[in-house]
Structures are given as structure tokens and as C-alpha cells.
Structure 1
């Protein structure tokens, strides 16, 4: 009885039908592999292969910049040829390129293989967004919230596995991480074979090919999404540096904040995300996220002026509020990103959205380390106001976006 109850609850969390559970399982497996690799990749290339850190950084930067250009055409290809097929092809390419990394002995080889991997990742990311819409059916944002819960859990488990390899600190352990990630791509592709073959949705006649570039509300949302994405490196980059250089908090606080952030997002994503479905909901949720960041950033700054244990408590409380804002922000972006995109062009729109987010993440380290850390407490306050201002645009953006794409249910919702 208890086992059946637990199994049934996990099944409901993972999805309402077979295709949803398949995509959840595939994404979970893939993200476990990502967690294995991401935590130790830089150390492998510098300590095991023997490449200078500057060369590793340059290779990954070049690969990332080239990969940015592949998401939009890849998404369009997914719209016209089928998201499931394109995503499977991208996963196979990533499996091969990841496995090839164990053969890398030069900067040139690393750059070429990493570039192939990033191109496939961008194409697969856009196709994955389109596939989520098809699998999620009438409520893609709710399904995406469930999906992200298991994605976060997969990354956490993969990172724990990477920690064991880092403790061993042998070439064999690092190679096992890389091949484990390659296997996760292959297994993910195999699992997608269990999904139905969704028919391609025909585009309206005489419609321009690259419609996303003419969609001004969506382009504005893409810019806001990329800018609000600065909140992710706040936890992974900015706060650890701030703790170590400006507070008396013990070093374990850095590990604790990652644990709190990951655990809270896993526990709350579905509960909050399931209530944010329409673009109107998304606009309001975007505003709520900005207000939560308005609270969390000053709390992080104040930790520099508190006694040691008070500083640790303040940081953990701040990360709790910040994690709540992250859940609201991601849920808002699911609702707006899927809701503003036409069904027949979801891949193209998700490619545009991915480009905006990736561009923001590329600029984030320079902005956060120079502006925020350079200004100290004043920088944190400016960052808080920046997030709040971005969030405040959410409701009006949602109304503008929905006015430009009338649907049968829009008039009823607007009137209510």
C-alpha cells in the first residue's frame, strides 16, 4: 500500500500520461550526465590533458559564440521536420562529440569538438522547447514546471557523482565522468523513440519564414528574459565571491547556499509553476520575481556588515528568498515563452528565446564582477532595483503580446 502510494505520487509528479513521463525520464537522464560533466570538465582539461586555463577558456568561448547562431535555424528545422527527430539527431551528435573529448590532446581539437557540441546543444535546445509544447498539450507551462523539477534533481545527483570523481582525482575517474555524460545523451535519444510521431503543424499560407524576428512583443520579452537571467550567476558566481571576500561567514556557507537553492527549486517548482499557465499569469509572476529579487539582493549585501553567525544566517535567508524568486521567474518565462509563440513555430521562437538567454549569460560574469563587486553594497542595491524594474514590465508586456495575437479565449480572459 505504501509502496503503491509512493509510486503513484512519483508517477503523477512526473506527468499525466505516457509521453510526459517519457520526456521527463529522458530529460532527467540527460541532466544527470550534465551534472557529472559540468562540475569537473575544466579540471580535466587543465589537470589531466595539461592545457593552460586560458586556452580552455578561449576554446569554450569560441564554441559557445558559434553555437549561439545555431539555435534559431535549428528550431525552424524542428518546426518543419519534426521536433522529435531533430532533437534525437542533436543528442546523437552530442553523444559522439562528448565521447571524443577523451581523445583531446590539443587546443585545436578541443575547440573543434566543443564547437560541434555547442551547435548540437543549441539545435537540440530549440527542438526540445517545441517538443515540450507537443507533449504538454493544452498545458505546456504546467508540464514544463514538472519537467524542470526533475531536471534540477538530475543536476544535483550528477553533481554529487562528480564529487566522488573529484575526490579520487585520477584520469580514469575524469574519463568516466565524460563517458557517463556521453552515455546520457545516447540514452536520452533512445528514450525519445518511445514518444509518438507528432505530425508537423502547417504554417499559414504566405506567412514569412522568420516570423519571430517581426514579433516585437516577443523580442522585447526575449531581451527581458536575457536580462533577468543575471539572477542565475548571482548564486553561482557573485555570492560565493562576496561571501569569501566581504563577509566573515564560514566557507561551508557556499556549499549550503547551493544545497538550499537546488532543494528549494526542486520542491517548489511544480507547486508554483502549476498555477502560472497563461501569458497574463506569466506577466504577473515576472513582476513578483522582480520584487523578490529586490528583497534578496540587499540581504546578501548586508551580510558583509553582520557578525559571523548572523552573516551565515542572513545569507541562507537571502538565498531562500532568491530561490523563491527564481521559481517565479522561471514559471513566468515558461508561460510567456510558450504562450506568445504560435504552435506551428514553437521551435523558431524557442531558438530566439535561447539566443537571448545565452547572450545574457555570456555577459553576466563581466557585469556582475565589475559593476556589482566594483561598487560593493551600492552595486547590490543597483542590481536589486534593476531586477525590480525588469519585473515591473511583465504585466504590460503580457497585455501587449496578447493584443497582437487574438485567440478565441483571449477576449473572455481579458474581460474577466
Structure 2
């Protein structure tokens, strides 16, 4: 297992603020494009291309599962050749695949292009994580929290922009959204090319290998924990809207309100809380806080079915405020552990596994939430809150375990380096 000492990171850039601003700008631009496309993607494929909705879902599922395969290999390439090179390559590929969507006419072509797009997105996530670690200097987790604020803002702006195309409901409008998203990847790559340094690979120890992260049991455990806790994202985006529509008398505008509140709370508090969660130990504690907040928010969401229609929107907003605060603590803890436990020379590989865990959790979330929680009703909400609380309680022990293994590895390495070489045994021995 690869060890890592508990020391501050040393920035390889003499003036990190310039690369940080460039990376924030590039990420913001690409996420505006994501917001434009994601809002209307299913409508385009079903209403314009005339693919059956079920087949679109199957194609996206295939693409998502195959895309997971790119995480660790792309991270290894980022560690070996530099993260910016791999990230720019991934952005270029996404620009091409996104533009290709305007030419599809059948399901096979759609699935193939969607798969290539997800492979590029996963590769970009792994390389982007390594790039954040290098650009973030001594405080990569705090920088990642700041970056997420602008990323969320970009998605919101893109989503608002997509509303015009959806209201127009024409092929030209949807095509414009797709091409705008393709252009956003190209523009983001140009910003990164001009403003983000081409960080050189860091020296790697002899024991490093391409799959070293898989032998790092504490990190693998953390990734599993983070992927499972990631169900909380779709609790607000998927589960609560279905619950409000099917089980409450709340007016339909309540769904839009909870989306806005969730985005607003995260945008306002992400940097403030994220800057206070930097070390793995603080990350473990942040997970525990998040789990407790989810333990409160989930029953509140369930109660919206038991109150009058005029109270349900206020209760839903209150529940989402509590849940969003938990989301900020959860994401901040995830960044602190995800970056803090990864060796500097293998950030790409480790961020690749980090992304795989999160994406796998998001892929399973719709099935778990709609069957287990909705199927059990109020009891399902209570179990979901208890599940999140249990995951949060596991955060501090996992962080302590990881820090212990890294101290032990570091001490062993120093002891080995300082020990004199043993004399060879005589031939008669």
C-alpha cells in the first residue's frame, strides 16, 4: 500500500491564484453547457430523434456502466503524463461526441456516442481531480469547495437558459442547446490551455503500480462510504419531487422551490464550510455531522404527506434547507478525505477510483430510492435517514484507520531507509 505522510502540500506554482481562477472559469463554462444539455437531453432524444424513452434509458445505462472503466486508467495517464494533458484530451473528446449527437438517427449510434461521451467524462473527472490537487496548492479541499460553488452556479444558469429552448420545443432549439454544450467544452479547454500550467508528473516510489489504489483498503472503504452517501443527492432531485407529486397536496411549484433552495444553500455555504474541513480527521467529522442532518431531514420530508396543502411547501423547504446543509458538510468531508488520503504522486489514480465510487452510487440511486423508500412509505424515509446517519458515524473511524495506516507506512519507510545494510551470510550458513 502506498503511504503518505501528514504534511502540508507544496504548490508547484509560484502564484497559484492565477491557475485557480483559470480552472474555476473553465469548469464554470463547461457546467453551464452541462446545464443547457442535461435539462433537455431526454426530450431531444425522445421527441426529436424519436427514440422510445425506455430505449434511451437503456442506452444511457449502458453508457454509464461502460464509462466507469475509464476512471483508473485515465488517472494513471494523468499521473504519468500530467493532468492537464489528459483533461484537455477528455474535453476535446466530449466536444466532438456532443456535437455528434445532432446527427444520430438510430439507437445503436446513440448508445455508441453516449458511451464514448461517458468514457471521456470519466477520464476528465479523474484527470480533473488530479489537476485540482495540483492547482489547489496547500489547500486542495478548500479550493475544491470554492470550485464547487461556481460549478453549481454554472449548472443553474445553464438550466435557466435551457428553459427557453424547452418552451420553444423545436428541433432547431434543441440542436442549439447541444451545439452550445459542445462549444462549452471547447471553450473550457481553451481557457485551461491558456491559464492552467502544464504540471509535470511527480516522482513515484518503486512500489507504485497501476492498481495501487485498489490495495489501499482504507481508501477503498472511504470510496464505498462516499458512493453510498451519494444517494442523498438524488433524495432531493428525484425522490422528494416524486413524493411531493404523488403523496402530498402541495402545489406543483413546490418542486421548483425545493430545487432553488437546494442550489441556493449549497452555493452560499459551500466555500464557508469547505474552508474549515481540510484534514482527513476533519473530513470524518464532517461526514458524521452530515449523517445527523440527513437523519433530521428525511423524516421532515416524509411529514409533508401528513400536513395541510398550505403547510406542505413550507415544511418541504425547511426539510431541504436541513438536507442541503448536510450536503455541504458531506461534500466537504468527501473532498478532505478524497484528496487528503491520496498520495501526491498518484492523485489521478486515486481520483479515478473516487469518481467511480460516486458514479456507481448515482447509477444505483434511482432503483434503491424508488423501490425501497417509496415502496415502504413513511418507514422508508425513516430507514433512509438512519442509513445516512450510520454512514456518517462510520466516517471518523474510517478516517482514523486511514491516517494510522499512512503513519505506519511512513514510519516503516523511514526506518528502512535509516537501517544499515545487513552483512551477507557466509556460504556455509
In 2, Cα distance between equivalents of 1:132 and 1:177 = 28
SS where residue 277 of structure 1 aligns? coil
Q: Which residue of 2 aligns with 1:353?
A: 354
Contact 2:16-2:135 at 8 Å conserved across structures: no
Q: Which residue of 2 aligns with 1:200?
A: 201
Ranges of 4+ aligned residues in structure 1 off by more than 3 Å: 407-410
SS where residue 237 of structure 2 aligns? helix
Structure 1: segments with no counterpart, 5+ residues: 1-14, 411-416
Shift of 1:205: 1.5
SS where residue 390 of structure 1 aligns? helix
Shift of 1:310: 1.2
Contact 2:28-2:151 at 8 Å conserved across structures: yes
What is the 5 A alignment of 1:54-93? 54-93=54-93
In 2, Cα distance between equivalents of 1:336 and 1:403 = 14
Q: Which residue of 2 aligns with 1:267?
A: 268
Q: Which residue of 2 aligns with 1:210?
A: 211
In 1, Cα distance between equivalents of 2:357 and 2:207 = 27
Q: Which residue of 2 aligns with 1:143?
A: 143
Q: Is the aligned partner of 1:299 residue 2:292?
A: no
In 1, Cα distance between equivalents of 2:124 and 2:210 = 20
- Deviations 1:160-181, CA, capped at 9 Å, x for gaps: 0001110111111100000000
Contact 2:74-2:126 at 8 Å conserved across structures: yes
What is the 5 A alignment of 1:196-345? 196-345=197-346
SS where residue 404 of structure 1 aligns? helix
Shift of 1:209: 2.8
Q: Which residue of 1 aligns with 2:423?
A: none
Contact 2:32-2:154 at 8 Å conserved across structures: yes
- Deviations 1:154-207, CA, capped at 9 Å, x for gaps: 000000000111011111110000000000000111111121121111210233
What is the 5 A alignment of 1:38-57? 38-57=38-57
SS where residue 256 of structure 1 aligns? helix
In 1, Cα distance between equivalents of 2:197 and 2:364 = 39
In 2, Cα distance between equivalents of 1:295 and 1:304 = 16
In 1, Cα distance between equivalents of 2:210 and 2:353 = 14
In 1, Cα distance between equivalents of 2:407 and 2:79 = 22
Contact 2:16-2:136 at 8 Å conserved across structures: no
Structure with the bigger RCO (C-alpha within 8 Å, sep 6+) is: 2
SS where residue 330 of structure 1 aligns? helix
SS where residue 201 of structure 1 aligns? coil
Shift of 1:54: 1.4
1:36/1:253 Cα in 2 relative to 1: closer, same or farther (>3 Å)? Answer: same
In 2, Cα distance between equivalents of 1:334 and 1:229 = 13
SS where residue 29 of structure 2 aligns? helix
Structure 2: segments with no counterpart, 5+ residues: 1-14, 412-429
The alignment's C-alpha RMSD in Å is 1.4
Contact 2:16-2:137 at 8 Å conserved across structures: no
Give the paired residue count: 396
Q: Which residue of 1 aligns with 2:109?
A: 109
Shift of 1:406: 2.2
Q: Which residue of 2 aligns with 1:122?
A: 122
SS where residue 206 of structure 1 aligns? coil
Shift of 1:16: 6.5
In 1, Cα distance between equivalents of 2:235 and 2:41 = 21
In 2, Cα distance between equivalents of 1:54 and 1:175 = 22
What is the 5 A alignment of 1:336-415? 336-406=337-407
Shift of 1:57: 1.1
1:37/1:407 Cα in 2 relative to 1: closer, same or farther (>3 Å)? Answer: farther
Q: Give TM-score scaled by structure 2 length.
A: 0.91
SS where residue 405 of structure 1 aligns? helix
1:283/1:409 Cα in 2 relative to 1: closer, same or farther (>3 Å)? Answer: farther
- Deviations 1:215-269, CA, capped at 9 Å, x for gaps: 0100100110010000011011100010011111100000000000001111110
Greater mean alpha carbon deviation, residues 398-407 or residues 325-334: 398-407
Q: Which residue of 2 aligns with 1:160?
A: 160
Shift of 1:208: 3.0
Contact 2:36-2:161 at 8 Å conserved across structures: yes
Q: Give TM-score scaled by structure 1 length.
A: 0.93
SS where residue 380 of structure 1 aligns? helix
SS where residue 391 of structure 1 aligns? helix
Q: Is the aligned partner of 1:173 residue 2:152?
A: no
In 2, Cα distance between equivalents of 1:244 and 1:144 = 35
Bigger Cα Rg: 2
